[in-house]
Chain A
Amino acid sequence: MNVFERVFTTLGHKEPDRVPFFLLLSLHGAKELGLSIRDYFSNPDNVVEGQLRLRRKYRHDCYNGFWYAPLEVEAFGGEVIFVEDGPPNSGNPPIRDFAAIDLLRPPVIADHIKLQDVLQSISRLKEASGNDAPIIGVVMSPFSLPVMQLGFERYLDLMFDHPALFEKLIAVNQEFCINWANAQLAAGATAICYFDPVSSPTIIPKKRFLETGFRIARQTLAQFKGAAAIHLASGKTLAIIDEIVQSGAKVVGVSCKEDLGSLKRACAGRITILGNLNGIEMARWSAKEAETKVRDAIFTAAPGGGFILADNHGEIPWQVPDEVLLAISEAVHRFGTYPITR
C-alpha cells in the first residue's frame, strides 16, 4: 500500500497494511535546518525543506501544513511573539474593545503575506514531495479563534454576557475560516484539521456547546471543499462524540486524559481516531517508554482500522528529542503491522 491507500483504508474503517501515524511536527523543521524558529518561518522554502526532511527521517504518513497558532489572528492585526524554544505565541489581543466587533471584517487572504507564505509552502511541498503523502492543512475554528482575538477571559465574558456581539464575531470568523480552509485545499492540502479546543467539555458546558460550537462547526465544515478532521487540542471529546460525528468530520483528535478503549468503542465505524500520545510527557520519555506507549495505543485502538496514531495535542513540542520520535516510528513499524497481534 502507498501512504494514501493506508490512510484512506483506515478512514474507511478497514485494516490497511499497517497503522498510519502522523507526527504533527512543525517547529522541529527548524532543528533539521539548523535555524531559529523565527528564521525558519521567514521563508516558505524552509518549511518545505523541513517537512521533507522530517518525513524522510521519521517515516510517518503525512506532511504538516501548519505553521503556528497565532497565524490567523496575525491576519486580524494580532501580534506574534517568537521564542527560542517553543511555539510562537499570540501577544496582546487585537480586539481591545467589544464595540470594535461591529466594524470587524474578515481579512482578505491575498492581502496577507504570511497567509500567502503558508499557501506557497503547501503548493511547493506537494510538488517537491511528488504528492507521496497527505498534506494536512490547519484552520482555527471561528469559535476558538476569539481566545486569541480577545484573550480567553474577555472571550468568555463576550460569550456569556454579550450574545449579539458574540454572533457578529463568529460570522466574521466563519467567513474567514471557510476562505482560509478552501485556499489551503486549492493550494494542495489533502484535508483540513479544524482546531476547536473551546468546544471541548473541558472548556465549556455541553449545553453551551450544542448552542454554539456544534452549530458553528457543522455550518463551517459543510462549506469546506474537502475532508475535515476536528481536533480539540488535548480537550476531552467523549461526552460530545456523537455531535462531532454529526458535524461531518471524518477524524477526531482525542485527549490522553480520556480512556482510549472507551473512545474506540464510541468511535468505531463512525469516525477515525487521531491520537492520543501525551505530547507533554513525551518530552521526557525514554525510548523504551515511547515504545510501550505506542504499543499500548496500537493494541487498544488499531484493530478494525479507524485509527491514526498521533500525539494528543496536534503539535509535538520542541523539547521532544529526536530519539523519542525515532523510537515512536520504530515502534509503529514493529507493532503496527496488520493484523495486530499482541
Chain B
Amino acid sequence: MPLKKYTGRADTLTSTLQNQIGSFCQSLLSLDRVGIERLLQEGTLNTDPSRFIETIVVPALERIGSDWENGIVSLAEVYMSSRLCEELLEEFLSAHHIARKAQPRIAIAVLQDYHMLGKRMVLSVMQSAGFAVLDYGHVDVDGLVVLMLKDRIDIILISVLMLASALKVKELRKKLTLSGSKAKIVVGGAPFRFDQRLGLHVEADAVGTFASDAPGIVEKLAADSGLTQEVHL
C-alpha cells in the first residue's frame, strides 16, 4: 500500500487569507502574546472559532513547520511558537466555553527512546488545532499495544529520534494486526526525515515531516477511514 503523502493546504489559499496567516505566523515567531490575542479576537468576531482555527491557526503552524524544513526558522522557534499557540488557544477556547472537536480517538507516544521534544511539539499543534489527544509518554511496543486496545485508539501518533526506535514501528504494526486493531499509525522524527523510504519500510500509514503536519494527516486518515464525526464547537 503506498504511504499517504500529506501536502499542506497553504498553496490554495486566497491572498487575504495568506496575509492573515502571515500575520499570525509573525506574531507567533516573535512570541507576541498580545498580538496573537488581538488576532484571535478580531478573527472570531464574525467567524466561527473552529473556522478560524482551521483556516488561520493550523496553516500558520504548517507554514512555520515548513520554514523549519527549509532552514528559515530553527527548531527552538518552532517549539516556542507552538507552545505559545497551544497556551493561548487553550485559554481562548475555555474562556468562550468552546468544546473541542469530536473526532477519532487519538493518542501520541514516544516509542522506546527518551526524547520527548518532538512529541511535545506535535501535542501542542494538535491541541491548537482543536484535537484532544491522549498522551502515553514513553512506552515500549507491548505497553503501547495494551494502552491502545484499552482506549480503543483509532490513530496513534508516534515520535522517535533513534533509528532503532523507528524500526520498532514494524513490530507495533504486526502486534496491532494480530490483536485485531485497525488503528492507523502516523510516524515522525529524525530517522523519517533522513530516510524518506523508512515510513514505508516500517509499514506506517503516514509520515509527518514536521509537527505541524499532524492535524492534516489525522483529518485525511479519519476521512479516508470513515472515522470523521460531526464537528460541534
Query: Which residues of A are at the interface with B, using a C-beta cutoff of 8 A?
Result: 81, 83, 85-87, 89-92, 151-153, 156, 159-160, 201-205, 208, 234, 236, 239, 256-257, 278-281, 283-284, 317-319
B194/A156 in contact, CB under 8 A: no
B163/A201 in contact, CB under 8 A: no
A319/B191 in contact, CB under 8 A: no
- Can you give 6 A-B contacts (C-beta < 8 A)? A86-B163, A156-B79, A204-B74, A205-B76, A279-B194, A317-B163
Q: Tell me whether A156 and B190 are in contact in the complex, defined as CB-CB below 8 angstroms, given that A90-B114, A202-B74, A319-B164 are known contacts.
A: no
A208 to B77, CA, bound (A): 11
A86/B162 in contact, CB under 8 A: yes
Q: Give chain B residues whose Cβ lies under 8 Å from the Cβ of A281.
A: 194-195, 197
B80/A160 in contact, CB under 8 A: yes
A151 to B120, CA, bound (A): 11
A-B pair number, CB within 8 angstroms: 82
Q: A202-B74, A280-B191 are in contact. List 14 more A-B contacts (CB 8 A).
A: A86-B162, A86-B163, A152-B115, A153-B120, A156-B76, A156-B79, A202-B71, A204-B74, A205-B76, A280-B194, A281-B194, A284-B195, A284-B198, A319-B164
B163/A319 in contact, CB under 8 A: yes
Q: Tell me whether A278 and B114 are in contact in the complex, defined as CB-CB below 8 angstroms, given that A203-B75, A208-B76 are known contacts.
A: no
A83/B76 in contact, CB under 8 A: no
A281 to B113, CA, bound (A): 19
Q: Give chain B residues whose Cβ lies under 8 Å from the Cβ of A204.
A: 74-76
B194/A160 in contact, CB under 8 A: no
Q: Give chain A residues whose Cβ lies under 8 Å from the Cβ of B197.
A: 281, 284
B194/A201 in contact, CB under 8 A: no
A239 to B198, CA, bound (A): 28
> Which of these, B79, B114, B190, B198, contacts A89 with CB under 8 Å?
B114
Is there a chain A Cβ closer than 8 Å to B145's Cβ? Answer: no
A3 to B68, CA, bound (A): 40
A319 to B198, CA, bound (A): 13
Chain B 153-166 interface 0/1 with A at a Cβ cutoff of 8 Å (1 = within): 00000000011110
Q: Tell me whether A202 and B75 are in contact in the complex, defined as CB-CB below 8 angstroms, given that A83-B112, A153-B120 are known contacts.
A: yes
A278/B195 in contact, CB under 8 A: yes
The chain A residue with its CB closest to the CB of B118 is A152
The chain B residue with its CB closest to the CB of A312 is B194
A232 to B37, CA, bound (A): 37
A153/B117 in contact, CB under 8 A: yes
B71/A160 in contact, CB under 8 A: no
Q: Tell me whether A153 and B71 are in contact in the complex, defined as CB-CB below 8 angstroms, given that A83-B164, A283-B163 are known contacts.
A: no
